[in-house]
Structure 1
Amino acid sequence: MYRQEYPRPQFVRDDWKNLNGKWEFEIDHGNSGKDRKLYEASSLADQINVPFCPESELSGIGYKDFMAAVWYRREFDIPENWKDKRILLHFGAVDYETTVWINGKEVGKHRGGYTPFSFEITDLLKNGNNVLTVNAVDDNRSGLQPRGKQSAGYYSAGCDYTRTTGIWQTVWLEAVPKSYIKKAKYISNPKDSSVNIELEVDRKSENLQVELTALYKGTEVGNRTLSVNGNLAQGDLIVSEVHLWEPGKPELYDLEITLLYNGQPIDHVSSYFGMRTVSLRDKAIYINEKPVFQRLVLDQGFYPDGIYTAPSDEALKRDIELSMELGFNGARLHEKVFEPRFLYWADQMGYLVWGEHANWGLNITNAEGLSRFLPEWIEAVDRDFNSPALVGWCPFNETWDLNGTKQDDEVLRITYEVTKALDKTRPVIDTSGNFHVVTDIFDIHDYEQDVEKFAEKFRAMGEGGEAYVTFPHRQRYEGQPYFVSEYGGIWWQPGNDEGWGYGNRPKSEEEFLERYKGLTETLLKNKAICAFCYTQLYDVEQEVNGLYTYERKAKFDPAIIRAINSQRAAIEEEVTIKN
């Protein structure tokens, strides 16, 4: 079993080859493989099922101790009809520092465990079999790399889980012409019935144009041809019908992009976009000029058999279905840059998501943290910019002090400013929970389990008074929309005294549901709060505060949770109809 679906669903070409499956593999505990020239080796010691990390059962390895470095090797050939094309080698994600060789010749390097990278390998290929070798170096205890929820100790503990080393997303080849469409960026403008499209073409050439065709449910609704100036083409595509992408109502347009040379097609990409705006006013988050209370759930993106990698595309889709069955309309994608196909399903299903990086483990008490964080964060924003489901960015989460040293506020400030420069269409939370420096939305985390004490914290702001602020000596509220972005975390796994969760455990299912109802209704009924995020959708290893088990089995009747979560949605719908 391996992942076979197309890995980049919003930018699709026909000429591609999946390199997932059985690879040769070797653990390099001493990180000495380069000295030993393993990139020239005729074989490696073991085998692995790519793209599953060696810690996972699906990889066929299942080794869960620290690995300083790992090596991969496989042979491949090039389809006959690709012979006159440029060949690109793509990696969805490799944790953490990667070096790649083709036929013993180094192709390039990449630093970062969560974002895609690619190399052109055309000139290094030969007829017949070619050898691809990959080395990944990973040290999540260094303080120099974002690790997210990967445990920095031998054992998983608390809210840190099994590590991921090396390749964990699809590896694939792509054939492109000498000049090809490299990148696309979409900004929709529903009021003007248009979408602004910016395209980047690799390798400049005279007499290049790009033809754009938008379709809605198979019917053409817009067409335009743009000239390529240098390596860029930009312009507005007018559509004859405006259908808004909304939570639970995911109207999407197909987009066909054709690169023309002297009027003849030389490259083609299939894509899609949604007509959707996000704005902030009246201390609320507006989607398409309507206030939408975001009923979010924390999704960690872990799987019992694949760890960071979903066992199948269907498993990605199923997690969204499970969340929506409980009455949530979106998720915080927590301490991890999720794979593109998760966002694809969110786009297709009308499911709101917040993009977040895996900052835990990275020392941000000085500027070196910025140098390690920012390049990969820019790659993440660039990769996911076009997703209509993605309604906000949150680069950092809970930036706690390190050994008594405070965060460098400039690291957060600069990251916020860079994110806003890259994307002016979405709100940015500088750091979720603490400690805010500059943020579009003020969010807090609170795991109080006593419903009365929890409600008391928010009572004054619900009556027009002062907002509840955690760590008031370190951050202050400045009138932004207010988001309780982590709460709950109610520990529920009867008979498991070794599990981990927040606060005291309920003594019965009835007590759990009463507590869930009380905590959630406190937030739903407070007019000063615009969004919540419940911790969490499913258990992960020893953390047993999910609404589903780690195997995605419901702990409670979904209808009961859905009825609680959906109360404010019904109120908002009634208000919208009246207006």
Structure 2
Amino acid sequence: MFTSLLWMLFPLGQDLCAQSNPKLDPLIQNVYGRKTISLNGSWSYLLDQLEVGYYNYRRTPDPNGFFKDPMVDNVTVYKEYDFDSAPVMSIPGDWNTWEDRFFFYEGTMWFKHKFLYKKTDNRVYLYLGAVNYDAKVYLNGTKVGEHIGGYTPFNMEVTGQIKDGENFVVVKVDNKRTAEGVPTLNCDWFNFGGITRDVMLVEVPRTYISNYRVQLKKGSKDTLTGYVKMDGTETSQKVQLEIPELKIKKELTTDAKGYASFEIKAKPVLWSTENPYLYRVSLSTNADKVVDEIGFRTIETKGRQILLNGKPVFLKGISIHEEAPFRSGRICSEEEDLTLLNWAKELGCNYVRLAHYPHNEKMVRLAEKMGLMVWSEIPVYWTIQWENEGTYQNAHNQLMEMIERDQNRAAVIIWSIANETPHGDARDRFLSNLAKAAREKDNSRLLSMAMERSDKSATVLSIQDRMSEYVDIISCNQYLGWYDGLNEKIDRVRWEVDYEKPLVFSEMGGAAVAGYHGDKTQIWTEEYQEELYRKTLRMIDERMPPVAGISPWILMDFRSPRRLLPQIQDGFNRKGLISNRGQKKKAFYILQEWYRNK
């Protein structure tokens, strides 16, 4: 009854982010274009399985928890923890691969970092690129913010809490899976815990440019549109927008709320996969200036085609998890991003599906510079709590943070709101409202979700989903030859897809152990995976309605606690075209050759 009342009181399309994370400030756009002080490096850590640093023995929050960290002599005054003598961990990073004893640990870990700071007249924000999953953040013993969600950035103003001289930041990180979480208890990737992306102090003037959007107007190749948003006490400002290569120099005047929109005629060179051209764009006031590299392109659909800059494009893709090559932990360096994206380019890709959550900002920016289109996704995955208002707020917040961070990235052509979700009224209401929220936030990109098949018969395969009316692309995960029969079945089926929208195989494939060889009918061998790809690609060419793209599952083997078969899986999903050790499997070359001919 109470849940039903909440749904009535708070329509799903409503912005509920402030309730989800009440202490956070709006996300600073293009944080890497700001004056920043890195807090990456060695952080002290304490494992706290019973959360004694947060709750007292009555299981109520302790106002003198670990975040206070007072100095005591442990002679006349005691303290049952000590960050100063605790071990240290490299941040960003995950604790699971830092020490063997933490490999399967899910729970609370405390992190502390000391730093020196010289105060100025600037405002100061503390920015965290991602913390998995529940983060509570303290500066000099005072709580400054909290955040739910393991893959999106957040920041909070700390101007009033930061001091001249030595400061310390403490972060309580809890990666326990929860039934109401996004993702929920059950998922097919590893739950790496920790502060997994950059931590920075961001310095900005008293009134600064907090957000902006500069893109081509939807449906146009010669009109730039967007907005600028100021934050501070003097929000009515003159803002100069400059794009020197396009000879654009336009003065904007923000209103009392700090907002100004614009439309400007221009004829930019369009960003494309062959020519990923980026312009230097600057926004400045008397006190502030921010510079970005932005590309301009159009993306739309027409019938069953996807059009990039008005021309049909086939999405030659691959799915990627944000897992480091060779060492199999959470990615924490640009070099590891680059390794995966270079493999995708070697494969012949013009597109990557960054699954199943927003990947780090540097990954998206590198893809953009390399001419790779991007599918970006939130972790609404499998069977989450569709009727739980808090779960919806959480998903909505992650969707808004994903869009907010990457809204100026030309490479991002698809926002995805879900993966392999079960049909039902509650699910449809949940997802349709996410779709509406995404379109209200950004209508310039395509919307999709990875659906499951709903076949018409055993041999007539199809997709039938009521969410089809809310998306631009009908995306389907299908595993003929793996979860659905053996490879011989691929030759016996046909497809009927009734929607006049582009069809993309968001996933397809099967598993193989690198270096394990046998007959092409023997599962787990490279030869079986190779044959599966050969037959599937032939099916796409010869016996299907038009397909607009594919992103097979997956570029590289990745850790998953669901994968238990000894000496075959050993805790890894083996569907990669490349092993976690960098070995290319035979199917890699089958797909590579097919892409060369597309």
Q: Same fold (TM over 0.5)?
A: yes
Task: Give 1:191 deviation, angstroms.
Answer: 4.3
2:109 maps to which of 33, 45, 70: 70
Alignment-derived partner of residue 22 in structure 1:
42
State the identity %.
Answer: 22
* Corresponding letter in the other structure for 1:287: L
Cα distance change, pair 557–374 in 1 and its aligned pair in 2 (3 A): closer
Q: Distance in 1 between matches of 2:52 and 2:399?
A: 29
Aligned to 1:447: 479
Counterpart of 1:4?
none
1:356 maps to 377
Q: Match for residue 299 of structure 1?
A: 320
Task: Note the C-alpha offset of 1:531.
Answer: 1.3
Match of 1:572 in 2: none
Q: Indicate which of 389, 412, 429 corresponds to 1:390.
A: 412
Closer/same/farther in 2, CA of residues 452 and 289 from structure 1, 3 Å limit: farther
Supply the distance in 2 between the matched residues of 1:528 and 1:561 (Cα, whole angstroms): 18
Question: Is 1:523 aligned to 2:549, yes or no?
Answer: no
**C-alpha separation in 2, matches of 1:415 and 1:486:** 22
Task: Give distance in 2, aligned partners of 1:387 and 1:417.
Answer: 21
Aligned to 1:186: 214
Q: Which amino acid aligns with 1:245?
A: W
1:423/1:13 CA distance change after superposition, 3 Å: closer
Distance in 1 separating the partners of 2:197 and 2:558: 20
Q: Give the equivalent residue in structure 2 for 1:226.
A: 252
Asked if structure 2 preserves the Cα contact closer than 8 Å seen for 1:364 and 1:407, the reply is no
Structure 1: runs of 5 or more not aligned: 1-6, 153-158, 260-264, 468-476, 498-502, 569-579
Correspondence for 2:94 among 46, 49, 53: 53
Question: Could you tell me how far apart the structure 2 residues matched to 1:286 and 1:455 are?
Answer: 31
Q: What corresponds to 2:155 in structure 1?
A: 118
Shift of 1:367: 3.5
> Following TM superposition, by how much is the alpha carbon of 1:533 offset from its aligned partner in structure 2, in angstroms?
1.6
Correspondent of 1:532 among 550, 557, 571 = 550
Separation in 2, partners of 1:508, 1:274: 40
- What's the counterpart of residue 242 of structure 2? 213
Residue 504 (structure 1) shift: 5.3
Give the AA of the match of 2:304: K
Q: Find the counterpart in structure 1 of residue 53 from structure 2.
A: 33
Q: After TM superposition, list the pairs within 5 Å mapping 1:259-298 onto structure 2.
A: 259=285, 265-298=286-319
Q: 1:41 to 1:496 in 2, by over 3 A?
A: farther
Deviation for aligned residue 1:359: 2.3
State the secondary structure of the residue aligned to 1:515. helix
Residue of structure 1 aligned with 2:345, choices 314, 324, 342: 324
Q: How many Å separate the matches in 2 of 1:197 and 1:393? A: 19
Q: 1:12 and 1:494 mapped to 2: Cα distance?
A: 41
| Inter-CA distance 18–496: structure 2 relative to 1 (3 Å threshold) | farther
- Aligned residue for 2:476, secondary structure, equals strand
Q: How does 1:152-551 map to 2 (within 5 A)?
A: 160-189=188-217, 191-205=220-234, 208-215=237-244, 219=245, 221-230=247-256, 231-239=258-266, 241-259=267-285, 265-303=286-324, 309-360=330-381, 363-368=384-389, 369-400=391-422, 408-433=427-452, 436-437=466-467, 438-449=470-481, 450=486, 453-458=489-494, 466-467=496-497, 477-495=498-516, 505=523, 509=527, 512-524=529-541, 526=544, 528-541=546-559, 542-551=572-581
3-state secondary structure, aligned to 1:38: coil
CA–CA separation in structure 1 for the residues paired with 2:174 and 2:361 = 24
How far, CA to CA, are the matches of 1:310 and 1:353 in structure 2?
Answer: 18
The size of the alignment, in residue pairs, is: 517
**Cα pair distance change 1:409/1:176, threshold 3 Å:** same
Query: Cα–Cα, structure 1 residues 414 and 447, in superposed 2: closer, same or farther, change >3 Å?
Result: same
Map Cα deviations across residues 255-301 of structure 1 (whole Å, 9 max, x no partner).
11112xxxxx2111110211111111121111111111111111111
1:215-256 alpha-carbon deviations (Å, 9 max, x no partner): 4xxx463221111112112212444x5211112320111111
Tell me, in whole angstroms, the C-alpha distance in 2 between the residues paired with 1:72 and 1:420: 38
Question: How far off its partner does 1:17 sit?
Answer: 0.4
Shift in Å at residue 483 of structure 1?
A: 1.6
SS in 2 for 1:30: coil
Contact 1:296–1:533 (CA under 8 A) maintained in structure 2:
yes
| CA–CA separation in structure 2 for the residues paired with 1:443 and 1:193 | 30
Per the TM alignment, residue 138 of structure 1 is displaced from its structure 2 partner at its CA by 2.7
**Contact 1:398 1:432 survives alignment (8 Å):** yes
Which of residues 142, 145, 149 in structure 1 aligns to 2:181?
Answer: 145
C-alpha distance 92-519 of structure 1, shift in aligned 2 (>3 A): same
For the 8 Å contact 2:236–2:255, the answer to whether it is kept is no
Whether the 8 Å contact between 1:303 and 1:309 is mirrored in structure 2 is yes
Q: Is 1:99 equivalent to 2:136 in the alignment?
A: yes
Task: Evaluate the alpha carbon distance shift between residue 496 and residue 425 of structure 1 in structure 2; reply closer, same or farther with a 3 A threshold.
Answer: same
Deviation at 1:516, TM superposition (A): 1.9
Q: Select between 29-38 and 409-418 the one with higher mean Cα deviation.
A: 29-38
2 CA distance for matches of 1:325 and 1:9?
32
The amino acid of 1:195's aligned partner reads L
Judged with a 3 Å threshold, the aligned counterparts in structure 2 of structure 1 residues 400 and 32 are, in CA distance, closer, same or farther, namely farther
CA distance in 1, matches of 2:578, 2:509: 14
Q: Does structure 1 conserve the Cα–Cα contact (< 8 Å) formed by 2:327 and 2:580?
A: no
Give the direction of change, closer, same or farther, for the CA distance of 1:362–1:451 in structure 2 (3 Å limit): closer
Give, in whole Å, the separation in 1 of the partners of 2:448 and 2:593.
Answer: 29
Distance 1:496 1:72 in 2: 46
Counterparts of 2:227 and 2:541, CA distance in 1:
39
Contact 1:248 1:349 (C-alpha < 8 Å) held by counterparts: no
**SS at 1:87 equivalent:** strand
SS of the equivalent of 1:381 reads helix
CA distance in 1, matches of 2:249, 2:329: 40
Report the CA distance shift for 1:306/1:257 in structure 2 as closer, same or farther (over 3 A): farther
Q: CA deviation at 1:559?
A: 5.7
Contact 2:490 2:535 in 1 (8 A): no
Partners of 1:491 and 1:552 lie apart in 2 by 14
Cα RMSD of the aligned pairs, angstroms, is 2.9
State the TM-score, normalized to the length of structure 1.
0.82
1:361–1:172 CA distance, 2 compared to 1 (3 A): farther
Match of 1:262 in 2: none
With normalisation by structure 2, the TM-score equals 0.80
Which AA in structure 2 matches 1:251?
Y
Q: Distance in 2 between matches of 1:319 and 1:182?
A: 32
Residues 440, 560 of structure 1: alpha-carbon distance in 2 compared, 3 angstrom cutoff:
closer
- After TM superposition, give the deviation of residue 11 of structure 1 in Å: 4.9
Shift of the alpha carbon at 1:180?
0.3
Deviations 1:515-566 (A, max 9, x none): 3222123224545211112111111132122111113332349665422222
User: Quick one: which amino acid aligns to residue 394 of structure 2?
Assistant: R
